[in-house]
């Protein structure tokens, strides 16, 4: 499954990335710096 994660470097985003990676999903990260 392909997953787009926004806000990937926050507390929730990090957890989502770790779990998706363990489950072998394709991860796309979108982060905007202010």
pLDDT in tens, 18-28: 999 999 999 99
Q: What's the number of CA atoms in the CB half-sphere (13 Å) around residue 27?
A: 18
User: What's the confidence (pLDDT) of residue 9?
Assistant: 84
- Banded model confidence at residue 13, pLDDT cuts 50, 70, 90: confident
- Block residue for tokens 């979108």: 30
Tell me what the pLDDT averaged over the chain comes to: 90
Report the pLDDT value the prediction gives residue 34, as an integer from 0 to 100.
73
- Are 26 and 2 within 8 A, CB to CB? yes
Global pTM value: 0.70
């Amino acid at each position: 499954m392909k997953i787009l994660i926004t806000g990937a470097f926050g507390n929730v985003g990090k957890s989502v990335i770790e779990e998706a990676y363990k489950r072998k999903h394709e991860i796309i990260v979108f982060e905007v710096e202010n």
